[in-house]
């Protein structure tokens, strides 16, 4: 029998108070949610129930200065989506297997995007983009094999004439989460496409436009429930017109050929860049194919760095082209009488070191004009060490814009370097010696410039004291109306206080290089009178030299419309052909005679190097043909 006991009333009371207290607390909390903050939750519920279908904005197209044919356009293409939350595990499994089998997608990659246990996720996941129309038809015909799949138009970028222009245009890709963190407030989202390099990156905001949306109330299966369709139309991106001239770009590309190096052609009177070539280049179309990763990896590992736009992202010793700046300094400072001469014996001794001239037998007596024309090293050694000194050399280098970015509207420009005694002490903790000045005097040593910087410095000489900021964008055009939204105006980058007379003399001397100097046998075009300077840079190896040519044309012209500046750099990694002046000769001929590369070749038919070039091309073509017929033979067998 149970014993007598006393009901523990106080403890039961405690339980009762606990229960009532909790229920009352919950009632108040619920009231605060459902009555006080009702509006906030109602808004959220509506947001969730109204599915937003994104209406993608068309990315703007990019044209060259003639704005007739697009350099970049949008190619119709599709992206495939699936909503993991509304699929069963079996459906997901089937979709994953079939997608990887028929659409050639890596199975592990889809599995990562659509985990089997993702039943809570009702946002569409992009399985693959850049899907061709034919594939969509195939999927539509076999829709049972692809449970839960849907697709949307998502054009990809197409580059009709890929080539050297790729460095300027750049390419686009999926936004990375690092990008997104910075750009989130500018209207980018997780599915955004973003320019990764070149103009596509520089002017991404202009090109991308603004996605629109179609709001409708739907259930999780995406079926429409209410008819309250609300459409915000997308605002398409703007078209861009570049300063680039497609014909000149092509001409420069072909004239440089398969030689590592770069070419810049610009209008000194406005800063417009007419052509900018960097070899090797890449084909951005390949980034939008199934093999994109493979292609990207291969290009990234290429030891010639095809992603580098050498015209602005590489800096080199300017070599003898720097003698232009030296000459300007001597003229402006009146450091050396124009009639005095210096006798070149083939070498000069500074302290205990002997510096040689490129002509080992010596040039004999030279004045400033013939010193530049002959590109005499001994002459400029003497100028640098005895008449100017490193501080003046550095000062004039900066006045011509070296060691400072030009501000061109392309990402990733490098600044180059103008060495000074302070710099050397900072970096190497050693003292500046006379030999350093000797080296800088002929554009060697630590002095580094980009081909574009050299072109800009030349444009200052042509303009007699003003340099315009180089730019690629010419105008922004509304893609739907064709209206011009904005036009890029020439912007003064630098105004020099060097006397106009100095520039004029300098122009004459540079003309002398072509008529009587180092370039007299190689520059033969009759189409225009040009002025310029050759350069041969030491690379530290025997028989490997950078080849430079910097020129402007027409010499003596005052018509800003026809003036151009040209810089060609051929890296020493190539076989030595002294190619820069030869390429310049062809480019000038092409531009001023309005000829294509092939026409220039015919025009220059007599020249030994053209014959050699043609013979080599013919041999290569024959070889290719032979290889092709051989494979055909083997196929026939």
| Residues near 190 by beta carbon (within 8 Å), at least 6 away in sequence | 175, 180
Minimum gap (Å) between residue 7 Cβ and other proteins: 6
**Which residue do the tokens 């523990």 mark?**
8
CA distances from 603 to 263, 286, 630 (A): 22, 36, 35
E strand or H helix that includes residue 273: strand 273-279
Query: For residue 203, which of 528, 562, 397, 476 has the smallest C-alpha distance?
Result: 476
Minimum gap (Å) between residue 193 Cβ and other proteins: 22
Minimum gap (Å) between residue 20 Cβ and other proteins: 7
Task: Tell me whether residue 35 or residue 635 sits nearer to other proteins (CB atom).
Answer: 35
- Local structure of residue 347 (DSSP, 8 states): E
Minimum gap (Å) between residue 33 Cβ and other proteins: 5
Minimum gap (Å) between residue 12 Cβ and other proteins: 6
Task: Tell me whether residue 102 or residue 122 sits nearer to other proteins (CB atom).
Answer: 122
Distance of alpha carbon 574 from the chain centroid: 23
Task: Tell me whether residue 223 or residue 356 sits nearer to other proteins (CB atom).
Answer: 223
Minimum gap (Å) between residue 113 Cβ and other proteins: 12
Task: Tell me whether residue 112 or residue 360 sits nearer to other proteins (CB atom).
Answer: 112
Task: Tell me whether residue 124 or residue 268 sits nearer to other proteins (CB atom).
Answer: 124
Task: Tell me whether residue 43 or residue 611 sits nearer to other proteins (CB atom).
Answer: 43
Minimum gap (Å) between residue 587 Cβ and other proteins: 56
Reduced 3-state DSSP string for 361-392: CCCEEECHHHHHHHCCHHHHHHHHHHHHCHHH
Q: What is the signed CA dihedral for 567, 553, 578, 324, rounded to 10 degrees? A: -70
Strands (DSSP E) along 447-554, which ranges? 466-468, 473-477, 484-487, 492-495, 531-538, 545-553
Greatest alpha-carbon pair distance for the chain in Å reads: 137
Minimum gap (Å) between residue 2 Cβ and other proteins: 4
Angstrom distance (rounded) from CA 113 to CA 115: 6
Residue 411 CB-density burial (10 A; 0-12 exposed, 13-18 middle, 19+ buried) = middle
Angstrom distance (rounded) from CA 221 to CA 123: 11
Minimum gap (Å) between residue 85 Cβ and other proteins: 8
C-beta separation of 319 from 443 below 8 A: yes
Minimum gap (Å) between residue 182 Cβ and other proteins: 17
556 CB-side CA count, 13 A:
6
Angstrom distance (rounded) from CA 276 to CA 311: 7
| Site residues (vs other proteins, CB under 8 A) | 2-3, 5, 7-9, 11-12, 14-16, 18-20, 22-23, 26-27, 29-31, 33-35, 37-38, 40-42, 44-46, 48-49, 118-123, 217-221, 223, 225
Angstrom distance (rounded) from CA 104 to CA 115: 19
Task: Tell me whether residue 119 or residue 395 sits nearer to other proteins (CB atom).
Answer: 119
Task: Tell me whether residue 116 or residue 433 sits nearer to other proteins (CB atom).
Answer: 116
Task: Tell me whether residue 36 or residue 621 sits nearer to other proteins (CB atom).
Answer: 36
Residue 54 CB-density burial (10 A; 0-12 exposed, 13-18 middle, 19+ buried) = middle
Angstrom distance (rounded) from CA 563 to CA 556: 10
Task: Tell me whether residue 46 or residue 500 sits nearer to other proteins (CB atom).
Answer: 46
Task: Tell me whether residue 30 or residue 232 sits nearer to other proteins (CB atom).
Answer: 30
Minimum gap (Å) between residue 218 Cβ and other proteins: 7
Minimum gap (Å) between residue 236 Cβ and other proteins: 31
Task: Tell me whether residue 40 or residue 487 sits nearer to other proteins (CB atom).
Answer: 40
Task: Tell me whether residue 14 or residue 428 sits nearer to other proteins (CB atom).
Answer: 14
Minimum gap (Å) between residue 423 Cβ and other proteins: 39
C-beta separation of 244 from 472 below 8 A: yes
Task: Tell me whether residue 216 or residue 475 sits nearer to other proteins (CB atom).
Answer: 216
∠587-589-590 over CA atoms, to 5°?
A: 65
| Residues near 36 by beta carbon (within 8 Å), at least 6 away in sequence | none
- Local structure of residue 465 (DSSP, 8 states): S
Task: Tell me whether residue 30 or residue 621 sits nearer to other proteins (CB atom).
Answer: 30
Secondary structure (3-state) at 329: helix
C-beta separation of 49 from 122 below 8 A: no
Minimum gap (Å) between residue 177 Cβ and other proteins: 14
| Residues near 196 by beta carbon (within 8 Å), at least 6 away in sequence | 170, 171, 172, 173
Angstrom distance (rounded) from CA 372 to CA 352: 26
Angstrom distance (rounded) from CA 447 to CA 445: 6
Minimum gap (Å) between residue 10 Cβ and other proteins: 11
């Amino acid at each position: 029998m149970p014993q007598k006991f006393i009901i523990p009333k106080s403890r039961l009371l405690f339980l009762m108070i606990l229960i009532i207290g909790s229920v009352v607390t919950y009632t108040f909390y619920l009231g605060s949610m459902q009555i006080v903050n009702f509006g906030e939750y109602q808004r959220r519920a509506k947001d969730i129930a109204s599915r937003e279908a994104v209406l993608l904005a068309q990315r703007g197209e990019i044209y060259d200065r003639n704005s007739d044919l697009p350099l970049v356009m949008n190619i119709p293409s599709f992206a495939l989506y699936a909503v993991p939350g509304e699929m069963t595990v079996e459906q997901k499994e089937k979709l994953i297997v079939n997608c990887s089998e028929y659409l050639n997608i890596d199975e592990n990659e889809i599995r990562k995007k659509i985990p089997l246990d993702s039943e809570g996720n009702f946002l569409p996941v992009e399985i693959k983009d850049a899907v061709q129309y034919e594939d969509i038809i195939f999927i539509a015909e076999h829709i049972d094999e692809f449970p839960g799949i849907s697709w949307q138009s998502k054009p990809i970028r197409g580059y009709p004439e890929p080539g050297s222009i790729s460095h300027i245009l750049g390419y686009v890709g999926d936004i990375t989460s690092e990008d997104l963190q910075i750009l989130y407030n500018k209207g980018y989202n997780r599915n955004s496409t973003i320019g990764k390099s070149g103009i596509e990156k520089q002017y991404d905001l202009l090109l991308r436009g603004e996605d629109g949306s179609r709001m409708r109330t739907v259930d999780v299966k995406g079926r429409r429930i209410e008819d309250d369709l609300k459409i915000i139309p997308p605002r398409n991106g703007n078209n861009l017109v570049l300063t680039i001239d497609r014909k000149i770009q092509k001409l420069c590309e072909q004239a440089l050929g398969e030689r590592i190096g770069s070419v810049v052609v610009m209008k000194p009177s406005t800063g417009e860049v007419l052509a900018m070539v960097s070899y090797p280049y890449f084909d951005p179309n390949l980034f939008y194919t199934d093999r994109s990763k493979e292609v990207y990896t291969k290009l990234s590992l290429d030891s010639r760095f095809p992603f580098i736009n050498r015209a602005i992202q590489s800096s080199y010793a300017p070599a003898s082209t720097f003698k232009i700046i030296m000459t300007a300094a001597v003229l402006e400072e009146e450091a050396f009488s124009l009639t005095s001469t210096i006798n070149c014996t083939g070498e000069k001794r500074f302290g205990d070191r002997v510096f040689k001239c490129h002509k080992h037998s010596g040039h004999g007596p030279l004045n400033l004009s013939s010193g530049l024309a002959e590109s005499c090293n001994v002459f400029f050694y003497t100028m640098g060490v005895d008449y100017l000194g490193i501080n003046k050399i550095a000062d004039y280098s900066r006045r011509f814009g070296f060691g400072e970015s030009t501000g061109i509207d392309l990402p990733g420009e490098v600044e180059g370097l103008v060495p000074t005694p302070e710099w050397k002490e900072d970096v190497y903790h050693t003292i500046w010696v006379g030999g350093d000045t000797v080296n800088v005097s002929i554009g060697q040593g630590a002095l580094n410039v980009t081909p574009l910087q050299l072109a800009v410095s030349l444009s200052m000489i042509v303009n007699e004291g003003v340099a315009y900021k180089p730019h690629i964008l010419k105008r922004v055009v509304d893609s739907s109306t064709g209206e011009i939204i904005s036009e890029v105006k020439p912007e003064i980058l630098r105004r020099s206080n060097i006397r106009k007379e100095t520039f004029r003399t300098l122009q004459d001397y540079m003309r002398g290089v072509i008529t009587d100097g180092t370039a007299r046998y190689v520059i033969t075009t009759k189409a225009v009178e040009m002025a310029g300077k050759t350069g041969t840079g030491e690379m530290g190896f025997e028989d490997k030299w950078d080849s430079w040519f910097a020129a402007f044309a027409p010499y003596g012209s005052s018509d800003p419309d026809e003036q151009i500046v040209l810089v060609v750099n051929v890296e020493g990694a190539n076989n030595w052909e002294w190619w820069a002046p030869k390429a310049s000769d062809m480019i000038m001929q092409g531009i001023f005679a309005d000829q294509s590369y092939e026409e220039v070749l015919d025009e220059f038919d007599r020249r030994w190097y053209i014959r050699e070039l043609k013979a080599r091309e013919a041999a290569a073509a024959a070889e290719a043909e032979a290889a092709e017929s051989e494979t055909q033979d083997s196929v026939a067998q």
